[in-house]
Amino acid sequence: MATAKKLPSGSWRCLVYSHTENIRQKDGTVKKKRIYESFTCDDPTARGKRKCEQIAAEWAANKDAGVTVENITLGVAYDRYIESKNKTLSPATIREYKRQRERNLPTLMPLKLKDITCDMIQIAINEEASGKSPKTVRNIHGLLSAVLGVYRPDLQLNTTLPKKVRPELYIPSDEEIKKLIEYVKNDEMEIPILLAAFGPMRRGEICALDSSDIKDGVVHVSKSMVLDSERNWVIKSPKSYSGDRYIRFPDFVLSKLSKNGRITSLNPSMITDRFRDILKRTGIPHFRFHDLRHYCASVQHAIGIPDAYIMQRGGWGSDRVLKEVYRHAMVDKTSDMDARANDYFENMQHGMQHEIKKAQ
């Protein structure tokens, strides 16, 4: 049985002998080359080592029985890939992978890996693009590419994907936020809205927050509530390293947080449903609860807070999101910003005219 070795990245890798190929040299001689199948597991613990060795042993057993990777279907390859990632990826990601396995690329899933061509993949992706957003299609192709990278690495994909579309975001104004906060005063949605608009915290982070996470006026965001593959709400660690962070909230927000137990009894779906109803009742234009984070980031950017601090407060690992999404001037701030710029130019012009008169 092959023994897994730890890579510099922390992942485990097993190499299993597959076959020997004859490689013809320039001088006409033939050199035999041993070909190995590589299996990896991203879990750096001993459990990940055992998992990696298990997958490698399963492949070796199938090989001895005449069942090669090329003879399994794409659907089976998806199942194996998802199982290998089950302990290392978030429950929400695994749930999404399983959803794609069941609903997407139906023409390819029954086919054997060895029979799948780039043309077939392009046709299947074109079919998925009908009625789906470019982002969704790119996610579908991303998982397909990852699976084939493990079980059919010789197939070099050159798929043409839909062009990315810049998202149309709605950033609520200060007046709309004031109206919203006034309406939910003493309501079960008051705390989630305050934490999102002035945090900015995500739905899952808010639902997982406990009074034990708050100390000396600082909120420690260290976990999130998500749906697992069985559609149960579970508490997990943040998706990324930057998601684990500390936020100092305004005193008027901290004073409303529970001193004992969970901060809210709501789950993320309940927050979404209740937030939609609140907007309807208040007459505020529809926007997502997540857009409260846009508001918070936009305010910080408008008042001159450096991006590094905005990223830290919001839990972003890079400024890509800020550049693509969050650097939108709020509608009710535009006139003020324009006035400040024009005042500067006017003062500069007056100064120039004064200098000219003095010279005369």
What is residue 229's predicted lDDT score, i.e. its pLDDT? 74
In terms of domains, do 354 and 290 share one? Answer: no
What is residue 324's predicted lDDT score, i.e. its pLDDT? 62
In terms of domains, do 120 and 198 share one? Answer: no
| 307 pLDDT more than 80 | yes
What is residue 299's predicted lDDT score, i.e. its pLDDT? 86
Alpha helix (H) residue ranges in the chain: 46-64, 74-84, 91-103, 118-129, 134-151, 174-183, 190-198, 203-208, 251-254, 268-282, 291-302, 307-314, 320-321, 331-359
Whether 263 is covered by a domain: the verdict is yes
From 151, 186, 208, the end of a domain falls on: 151
- In 3D space, the residue among 78, 317, 295 whose CA is nearest the CA of residue 195 turns out to be 295
In terms of domains, do 227 and 116 share one? Answer: no
> In which domain, by residue range, is 316 found?
174-328
Going by pLDDT thresholds of 50, 70 and 90, the confidence category of residue 328 is low
Going by pLDDT thresholds of 50, 70 and 90, the confidence category of residue 178 is very high
Whether 189 is covered by a domain: the verdict is yes
Query: Which residue carries 């597959």 as its tokens?
Result: 18
Q: Report DSSP state, residue 130.
A: T
In terms of domains, do 51 and 12 share one? Answer: yes
- How long a stretch of residues is the chain? 360
- Contacting residues for 95 by C-beta, under 8 A, at least 6 apart: 227, 228, 229, 231
Whether 34 is covered by a domain: the verdict is yes
In terms of domains, do 316 and 358 share one? Answer: no
Going by pLDDT thresholds of 50, 70 and 90, the confidence category of residue 48 is confident
What CATH number is associated with residue 127?
1.10.150
Going by pLDDT thresholds of 50, 70 and 90, the confidence category of residue 1 is low
In terms of domains, do 184 and 323 share one? Answer: yes
- Contacting residues for 191 by C-beta, under 8 A, at least 6 apart: 206, 256, 257, 263, 264
The CA distances from residue 41 to 15, 37, 44, 82, 230, in Å, are 12, 14, 8, 11, 23
| 319 pLDDT more than 90 | no
CB 300, CB 318: distance < 8 Å: no
Going by pLDDT thresholds of 50, 70 and 90, the confidence category of residue 337 is low
Q: How many domains does the chain contain in total?
A: 3
CA distance 189 to 90: 27
What is residue 145's predicted lDDT score, i.e. its pLDDT? 95
Kindly report the average pLDDT of the chain as a whole number.
Answer: 86
**pTM (two decimals):** 0.62
CA distance 124 to 104: 9
**Structure tokens belonging to residue 132:** 């789906």
In terms of domains, do 141 and 238 share one? Answer: no
In terms of domains, do 44 and 189 share one? Answer: no
Whether 23 is covered by a domain: the verdict is yes
In terms of domains, do 197 and 109 share one? Answer: no
pLDDT tens track for 239-274? 777 789 999 999 999 999 988 899 999 999 999 999
Range in 50-64, 173-187, 300-314 with the lowest mean pLDDT: 50-64
Q: How far is CA 12 from the centre of its chain?
A: 24
| 330 pLDDT more than 80 | no
- In 3D space, the residue among 152, 155, 157 whose CA is nearest the CA of residue 70 turns out to be 152
- In 3D space, the residue among 179, 159, 152 whose CA is nearest the CA of residue 68 turns out to be 152
| 181 pLDDT more than 90 | yes
CB 40, CB 11: distance < 8 Å: yes
In terms of domains, do 110 and 10 share one? Answer: yes
What is residue 201's predicted lDDT score, i.e. its pLDDT? 95
What CATH number is associated with residue 183?
1.10.443.10
| 27 pLDDT more than 80 | no
- Specify the higher pLDDT residue, 66 or 356: 356
In terms of domains, do 144 and 208 share one? Answer: no
Whether 164 is covered by a domain: the verdict is no
Per-residue pLDDT, averaged over 272-284, amounts to 96
DSSP annotation string for 201-260:
PPHHHHHH-BGGGEETTEEEE--EEEE-TTS-EEEE--SSGGGSEEEE--HHHHTTS-SS
In terms of domains, do 147 and 190 share one? Answer: no
Task: Report the relative pairing of strands 30-41 and 214-215 from DSSP bridges.
Answer: unpaired
**Structure tokens belonging to residue 328:** 């939108």
